[in-house]
Structure 1
Amino acid sequence: MLCAIIMAGGKGTRFWPLSTEEKPKQFLNLLGNRTMIKMTYDRISKILPKDRIFISTTSKYKGLVLEQLKDISPQNIIVEPESRNTSACICLSNLYVKKKFNNCNVIVLPSDHLINDEKVFVDTVLEADKFLYSNDKSIITFGIKPDRPETGYGYINYDLDSSLKINKVISFVEKPNYTTALKYLNEGNYYWNSGIFVWNVNLILNLIDKYLNNTYKVLSPILELSDYECEKFINENYRLTDNISIDYGVMEKYSNISVIEGDFGWDDVGSWSSIDRYNKKDLDGNILNSSGVLMKSNNNTVLIKKKILLNNVSDLIIVETDEYIVVSSKEHAQDINLARDYM
């Protein structure tokens, strides 16, 4: 049996001012006419019934989840009272799944990623799930073959000599600089780390117990509590968990991790350049979501509510919200989020 946990507690501040702490990017229509979380939920719903799909989020976003995912049962929304990094979130979510289904495989999915080929995605998920039935001590992660020296993603170094589709992970690598990313691209035995994992629920909980014993000890009593008692217990004790990522806390310490290539058109939609990659452009490379006139202007991304005139400008990002108008060069788009502290 396979269950899914969709991680939807992130604050999405890299897309400020469109994405805010009140309504982060997973709840926005950034690419198309569905929100990112709705696209993720619809995608995994193709192979799983709704009672086996869980949403992990913070108390701040529970209302947005219920508003946007009409089919989800409130009992399948796992609520963190506060953000404590991914290890606590993973532990809590998998304990909930274990309470309901005891022994199953679990796929963990970010809520705000783009996947273009849903059929290939579904086939890859099913293949990973099948692999675990004969390799239940393994963890599988989905790797994306790089097509550029991307510095915004983590990487997976894997066993290039293997002839299998599912290969041994040698190591996880943090976000590199440009020179190192180009080296990884040329060497050919590195994937981008998609952040998608498949594991057996009992295996991941045993590993958290082993490597992050405090977190497991804090949260594991919920296995014996009623739903009402769980909520009260978590609200009182969640702050005592370790504030560390699952990558640092478990993945870097466990050797039996494999990677399957996810050739399904993936993007984590984590930067303004990803908006450029997937939105329709005019003949001069401009993206414009409203009416306006662009004279001798090229390669601009304009997301506004009013009519606009651009005259003889290039490589700009122009964003309008109810509170702000932001204008930035694309070259320094990564500084937009830093500047918000001055607003």
Structure 2
Amino acid sequence: MIALILAGGSGTLFWPLSRESEPKQFLPLLGERSLLAETVLRVSALIPPQRILVVTGDSFVERARAEAPGVPAENVIGEPAGRNTAPCIALATALAGARYGGDEVMVALPADHRIGEAERFLAVLAAGAAFCRKERALLTLGIRPSRPETGFGYLEVAEKHAEIDGSAIHRVVRFVEKPDLAKAEEYVRSGRFLWNSGMFLWRIDAIEAALGEHVPNATGAIAAFRAARPGDLGEALAEWYPRLSATSIDYAVMEKASNVFSIPVDFPWSDVGSWSALGELLVPDADGNCVIGPYVGIDTRRSIIHASGRLVATIGLEDVIIVETDRAVLVCPAARAQEVRALVDRLRALGRRSVL
């Protein structure tokens, strides 16, 4: 079994703390270690660091090596441009297949998720790997929804197909995009829908075949990446990476393939996808405020305050997010945390690169 940790992405929804030069996966949002380091340490209890691959942006390779405890330097690979997860997985599939063989099982994990009850999580990975070895399936972990969430994609599952070591495995009927609230409530009531976690398991030969079937140019790209000598990989990437569609593995493969299954899980999980999501993981004070850094407030409730250096002081605020950094300050209603991406787009359009 090997692990692929997907450490690309810019963490736009965590602006202004997350920036182009310091994306979310390298930030210690929930303790002293970065989210990437926490992910590496978590999976290392099941998979030796020597069998962990980390794919990140070219400019972050050295930073990722420093944040990946025990992972050999050559296992941290830079992609020439961020093109979503399908090209990244094609690259890792090529390199892992050359090194470990097509019958090895790969688990693909985002670098920036928070997972509680690590022993249960690792037991699910082990059960999923056993299923993939037998069935050559494409397997995803589906989170049992605890609320009607509009910020996640969902997947619908059929009746139980199999059970391995206490983990039920269901065939996936379909993937669905982020719903409105009424549809999300319907999904939760039905009991057939799970949150799409973005965590996957598959045999290397199974995902390679699926990429070849559903992603244009994937077969040629994988062959070129696999054939490249270590010093020549950059040339192969420069030639083939732009030919791969900049799309997610969910859309490119998982929604189209016929051999897709899911393990429903209910261990504590968060994609730490926004300031509001981070607030759910912090311990609030007596007024319901989640505070990191120097802060004094009067009549301020149910708010998220993150101060990187300067004191933040508030009076008479409720349900707001305030983030102070040395370059910019964000203030917004907590209910509009998802709009931070649009704000970053506005700043980029205005040419305010220094704060991005």
Q: Tell me which interval the TM-score lies in, with the shorter structure as reference length.
A: over 0.9
Q: Which residue of 2 aligns with 1:177?
A: 180
1:326–1:244: structure 2 CA closer, same or farther, 3 Å change rule? closer
C-alpha contact 1:219 1:238 (8 A) present in aligned 2: no
Between 1:100-109 and 1:307-316, the stretch displaced more is: 307-316
C-alpha contact 2:58 2:78 (8 A) present in aligned 1: yes
Give the TM-score normalised by the residue count of structure 2.
0.92
Q: Is residue 17 from structure 1 mapped to residue 20 from structure 2 by the alignment?
A: no
Q: 1:256, 1:236 → 2: CA distance?
A: 31
Q: Which residue of 2 aligns with 1:115?
A: 115
How many Å apart are 1:328 and its aligned residue?
1.2
Q: 1:163, 1:56 → 2: CA distance?
A: 32
Query: Which amino acid is 1:190 matched to?
Result: F
Structure 1: any 5+ residue segments left out of the alignment?
none
Q: Is residue 328 from structure 1 mapped to residue 327 from structure 2 by the alignment?
A: no
Q: Could you tell me which of 190, 195, 217 is aligned with 1:192?
A: 195
Q: 1:231, 1:319 → 2: CA distance?
A: 38
Q: Which residue of 1 aligns with 2:279?
A: 276
Q: Could you tell me which of 203, 225, 229 is aligned with 2:228?
A: 225
How many Å apart are 1:258 and its aligned residue?
0.9
Count of residue pairs the alignment pairs up? 341
Structure 2: any 5+ residue segments left out of the alignment?
none
Q: Secondary structure at the match of 2:17?
A: coil
Q: Which residue of 1 aligns with 2:204?
A: 201
C-alpha contact 2:290 2:305 (8 A) present in aligned 1: yes
Query: Which amino acid is 2:343 matched to?
Result: A
Q: Secondary structure at the match of 2:139?
A: strand
1:284–1:77: structure 2 CA closer, same or farther, 3 Å change rule? same
**Percent of residue pairs identical:** 33
Query: Which amino acid is 1:242 matched to?
Result: S
Q: Is residue 100 from structure 1 mapped to residue 96 from structure 2 by the alignment?
A: no
How many Å apart are 1:248 and its aligned residue?
2.1
C-alpha contact 2:108 2:199 (8 A) present in aligned 1: yes
Q: Secondary structure at the match of 1:258?
A: strand
1:36–1:295: structure 2 CA closer, same or farther, 3 Å change rule? same
Between 1:82-91 and 1:44-53, the stretch displaced more is: 82-91
Between 1:90-99 and 1:221-230, the stretch displaced more is: 221-230
Q: Secondary structure at the match of 1:234?
A: helix
Query: Which amino acid is 1:258 matched to?
Result: F
1:297–1:222: structure 2 CA closer, same or farther, 3 Å change rule? closer
How many Å apart are 1:324 and its aligned residue?
0.6
Q: Which residue of 2 aligns with 1:339?
A: 343
How many Å apart are 1:233 and its aligned residue?
1.9
Q: Is residue 290 from structure 1 mapped to residue 293 from structure 2 by the alignment?
A: yes
How many Å apart are 1:332 and its aligned residue?
2.1
Give the TM-score normalised by the residue count of structure 1.
0.95
Q: 2:87, 2:296 → 1: CA distance?
A: 50
C-alpha contact 2:41 2:69 (8 A) present in aligned 1: no
C-alpha contact 2:55 2:92 (8 A) present in aligned 1: yes
User: What is the alpha-carbon root mean square deviation over aligned residues?
Assistant: 1.6
Between 1:185-194 and 1:54-63, the stretch displaced more is: 54-63
Q: 2:221, 2:4 → 1: CA distance?
A: 21
1:308–1:86: structure 2 CA closer, same or farther, 3 Å change rule? closer
Q: 1:76, 1:65 → 2: CA distance?
A: 10
Q: 1:313, 1:84 → 2: CA distance?
A: 40
